[in-house]
Chain A
């Protein structure tokens, strides 16, 4: 562990941002982390051994004896003697005192200066902040070892001086952490409130700010402590330390010179350094894990769990389970002959196996027919399983999700049974996908052009120039004013509406039979929503493509869809021509969805909450 680790070990500032609420539980949760507890116990033992050194050995660690050089373990000397006849066990114990005290000194110096300057710079800002950030950059550009060697040459080989200087070099580790945390909370309302109610700055800092950074500081301290040990042991090992005191580094130095005569002498201090280092690292890792969990309780996992939970809640706690044949089917208009089936889903069940062996079913016994050339709306509230159904058709369920039962036939071919290579051919080429959130569905590191042409080149096998020509044409088709410019742009340079147009262009680029659009307008402004729906309608007319559109909004259905399936709690409750369902909704759930569009204020509440 070199000083390089200071920087690698530094906490990302955002870890500290939001742990106020969880901090009281942090200590309690840490005590439940077995690895963290084990590491902490080892550290406590090492410290106790250092403190109680005189009780654990009767030898003076510095007592040189020519008569007992390089004795093996046992016979009076527990771990034998070194090249000068000193007792190894007592050296190890007393060495721990100096080594740990030295590292503690460096850590305290770094922490005191770093925390103080970080608080001042973060809380008051202005010139102090710029000065401090300059000094930080400067310190971080200095190779610590060289500075320490120079300092030692000038000031002599005192352990304490060297550790104080090293502490100063490590100040940025604490400064950056505290500064980031403090400038994060400085403008929060509760700080303003405290200030307005006349609480002094000092009390605000102590009460409201220090508590926020307490745990990250402990974490940083354990990392810095480990680094200080490594550097100090390294210097002593090379013979640059104070040779008159017992330290683990001096022991290693002695052991290295006697490596051929008695290899054991390297092992004991080496083990001491390694065990301490590993314990500190594990302690830090355990603390970091707990911190990160309270900072962002794994957003995505939570989101997935929430969807699954909502679905299960719905499936388990709702009305008595209706058997599949209870789906209300509206009659087709008799005037026209029905178009052939393109997608035929039969008895689909999707589930997420849980660690305890059970399976959470989010879609159960869903049957759905989509006819060639139609726009089919799959409607239901959040958590009803409609997106899971859509993803199953693409075979792109989130990690852990599985198709448990049923078949998904595209033109008679069961997609739930084809190999993943065959599925890759089908995706993009025959089924395409338009996602909900345009901005997060474009790879931020590649240009729009490269993301549009890559699938065309693999799917259609066209040349690079041909793919570019097609992409430009597509961009024009989806209503992008300056295709050349957008082609060369990166996703972050586009607006949400533009990005959604690009994604639609991508979906139609390889001439698919079926497009699955997962709430394609939900994340957009109302005016843009209408434009995107217009675009989808135009493209559908032009290309004759079939669209399965997942939505929670009957407005979208009314605007676009030929037929509708209403989904609730993981199953289809009502299906039929859009006209028929609009005219005469049968199922109470369908009716409640209708009520929701008629009375906007009622619908907004729950959706906004569950979608956030």
Chain B
């Protein structure tokens, strides 16, 4: 188990290294006249040259890359070109906001799709059909359109929730709930549609297995057959779908944060990429890479817990 974890982790680090390297080289190759971009067209050539020097842009790209990598390994990702704020600070403060949304959406989706999927599988009939229709809609309608719709009804008409902004949970819980609920719903719907479908078909498949009959023949209670045995066996495939959707969820959060005006990584992404703030973009690449790797590791471990056959490899 330990070697498995270590191997997955090393593989992840290698992957992150490749992504970071490619991103660094591409971004700097495309960055153009950095000093001029920062100081604007009115600055004199002398100040522009000075700025480039300050930023260390005169040394060769490879030298700069290794120097950045060295600093990055110690947790120092430099400072934003435009605000001078350290990249680590800029990202960490917003990271928790985005993670709140994304993990909120994952938890809500997992719970909701388990309930809906099992319900559809067991009841069949009209319950199943309604959940199928919901799945098609949830899959086909983009999250931001749902967001617009939710804002319109629940924020602007009913005033149940805030249309924009974010209140940290540590600051005021009620305010936090009123700001994160709609974004989390908007993020979750597409995910629920996909995962509930998977749960439904895995549960139907598991219920047809021979061992279900044998468990019943032993007088095991229906509740245990369903919630202990069938659900655990159906959990693996559903988890895979959830895991594969996670990267997309981070992307979806960028758009949803824009719609709701939430100061998360999405805003950093939009701002940093449109300004060409390369250190900040690099910080973003690293942050997202680390999250993706860690989440995949956790999912692999969970898979091993659910499915003993996956533990050997």
Binding site for B on A (CB under 8 A): 1-10, 137-138, 140-146, 149-150, 152-155, 226, 230, 233-234, 237-238, 240, 252, 256, 259, 263, 266, 270, 273-274, 277-278, 280-282, 285, 300, 391, 394, 396, 424-429, 431-433, 435, 437, 440-446, 451, 454-455, 458-459, 490, 492, 503, 506-507, 509-510
Verify B308–A492 contact, CB threshold 8 A. yes
Tell me the residues in window 242-287 of chain B with beta carbons closer than 8 Å to chain A beta carbons.
Answer: 244-252, 254-255, 258-259, 269-270, 273-276, 281, 284-285
- A317–B47 Cα distance when bound, in Å, is 99
- Contact among A153, A154, A425, A492 with B309 in the assembled complex (CB-CB below 8 Å): A492
Verify A445–B19 contact, CB threshold 8 A. no
- A433–B214 Cα distance when bound, in Å, is 7
Taken residue by residue from 209 to 224, chain B's Cβ proximity to chain A (1 for < 8 Å, 0 otherwise) reads as 1110111111111101
Given A4-B190, A142-B19, A458-B219, are A274 and B210 neighbors across the interface (CB < 8 Å)?
no
Given A138-B19, A278-B140, are A4 and B247 neighbors across the interface (CB < 8 Å)?
yes
A153-B275, A490-B308 are known; give 13 further A-B pairs, CB within 8 A.
Answer: A3-B247, A141-B15, A149-B269, A252-B148, A424-B219, A427-B219, A428-B218, A428-B219, A440-B211, A443-B229, A451-B215, A503-B214, A510-B218
Cβ of A37 to closest chain B Cβ, rounded Å = 16
Q: Which residues of B contact A7 (CB under 8 A)?
A: 241, 244-245, 247-248
Q: Which residues of A contact B15 (CB under 8 A)?
A: 137-138, 141
- A278–B216 Cα distance when bound, in Å, is 41
Verify A277–B141 contact, CB threshold 8 A. yes
Residue of A at shortest CB range from B242? Answer: A8
Verify A154–B276 contact, CB threshold 8 A. yes
Verify A150–B27 contact, CB threshold 8 A. yes
Given A2-B190, A437-B210, are A149 and B273 neighbors across the interface (CB < 8 Å)?
yes
- A437–B209 Cα distance when bound, in Å, is 11
- A1–B195 Cα distance when bound, in Å, is 13
- A9–B139 Cα distance when bound, in Å, is 10
Verify B143–A458 contact, CB threshold 8 A. no
Cβ of A150 to closest chain B Cβ, rounded Å = 5
- A140–B288 Cα distance when bound, in Å, is 12
Residue of B at shortest CB range from A395? Answer: B216
Cβ of B153 to closest chain A Cβ, rounded Å = 11
Verify B248–A396 contact, CB threshold 8 A. no
Verify A445–B250 contact, CB threshold 8 A. no
Q: CB of B51 within 8 A of chain A?
A: no
A–B Cβ pairs within 8 angstroms, 26 of them: A1-B142, A2-B249, A3-B248, A4-B191, A4-B246, A7-B241, A8-B244, A138-B15, A146-B285, A153-B275, A155-B30, A266-B148, A278-B137, A282-B136, A424-B219, A425-B219, A426-B219, A440-B209, A442-B211, A443-B233, A445-B232, A459-B219, A503-B214, A506-B218, A507-B218, A510-B219
- A394–B218 Cα distance when bound, in Å, is 10
Q: CB of B183 within 8 A of chain A?
A: no
Taken residue by residue from 186 to 228, chain B's Cβ proximity to chain A (1 for < 8 Å, 0 otherwise) reads as 0000110011001000000000111101111111111010000
Inter-chain contact count A-B, CB under 8 Å? 228
Q: CB of B18 within 8 A of chain A?
A: yes
Tell me the residues in window 121-146 of chain B with beta carbons closer than 8 Å to chain A beta carbons.
Answer: 136-137, 139-145
- A427–B292 Cα distance when bound, in Å, is 48
Residue of B at shortest CB range from A137? Answer: B15
Which of B232, B270, B273 neighbours the largest number of chain A CB atoms within 10 Å of its CB? B273
Please report whether the interface of chain A is mostly helix, strand, loop or mixed according to DSSP: helix
Q: Which residues of A contact B222 (CB under 8 A)?
A: 424
Cβ of B156 to closest chain A Cβ, rounded Å = 8
- A8–B218 Cα distance when bound, in Å, is 37
Binding site for A on B (CB under 8 A): 15, 18-19, 27, 30, 136-137, 139-145, 148, 152, 190-191, 194-195, 198, 208-211, 213-222, 224, 229, 232-233, 241, 244-252, 254-255, 258-259, 269-270, 273-276, 281, 284-285, 288-289, 292-293, 306-309
- Contact among B152, B218, B247, B269 with A427 in the assembled complex (CB-CB below 8 Å): B218
Q: Which residues of A contact B217 (CB under 8 A)?
A: 394, 396, 427-428, 431-433, 435
Verify B220–A234 contact, CB threshold 8 A. no
Q: Which residues of B contact A263 (CB under 8 A)?
A: 152
Residue of B at shortest CB range from A433? Answer: B217
Verify A150–B273 contact, CB threshold 8 A. yes
- A3–B270 Cα distance when bound, in Å, is 18
Residue of B at shortest CB range from A277? Answer: B140
- Contact among A234, A458, A506 with B142 in the assembled complex (CB-CB below 8 Å): A234
- A263–B214 Cα distance when bound, in Å, is 59
Verify B139–A233 contact, CB threshold 8 A. no
Verify A4–B249 contact, CB threshold 8 A. yes
Q: Which residues of B contact A432 (CB under 8 A)?
A: 217-218
Q: Which residues of A contact B289 (CB under 8 A)?
A: 141
Residue of A at shortest CB range from B281? Answer: A150
Q: Which residues of B contact A154 (CB under 8 A)?
A: 27, 30, 276
Cβ of B78 to closest chain A Cβ, rounded Å = 17
Q: Which residues of B contact A142 (CB under 8 A)?
A: 19, 247
Q: Which residues of A contact B281 (CB under 8 A)?
A: 150
In the complex, the 8 A-B pairs of residues with the closest C-beta atoms, listed nearest first: A4-B248, A428-B219, A7-B244, A277-B140, A433-B217, A4-B245, A145-B251, A8-B194
- Contact among B211, B241, B252, B275 with A8 in the assembled complex (CB-CB below 8 Å): B241
Given A274-B145, A455-B218, are A440 and B210 neighbors across the interface (CB < 8 Å)?
yes
- A3–B221 Cα distance when bound, in Å, is 41
Residue of A at shortest CB range from B291? Answer: A143
- Contact among A146, A270, A442, A506 with B288 in the assembled complex (CB-CB below 8 Å): A146
Verify A445–B233 contact, CB threshold 8 A. yes
- Contact among B136, B195, B224, B285 with A281 in the assembled complex (CB-CB below 8 Å): B136
Verify A396–B216 contact, CB threshold 8 A. yes
- Contact among A2, A274, A424 with B248 in the assembled complex (CB-CB below 8 Å): A2
- A146–B15 Cα distance when bound, in Å, is 18
Q: Which residues of A contact B275 (CB under 8 A)?
A: 153
Q: Which residues of B contact A429 (CB under 8 A)?
A: 219
Verify B270–A149 contact, CB threshold 8 A. yes
Verify A238–B258 contact, CB threshold 8 A. yes
Q: Which residues of A contact B218 (CB under 8 A)?
A: 427-428, 432-433, 454-455, 459, 506-507, 509-510
Verify B219–A5 contact, CB threshold 8 A. no
Given A424-B219, A424-B222, are A445 and B140 neighbors across the interface (CB < 8 Å)?
no
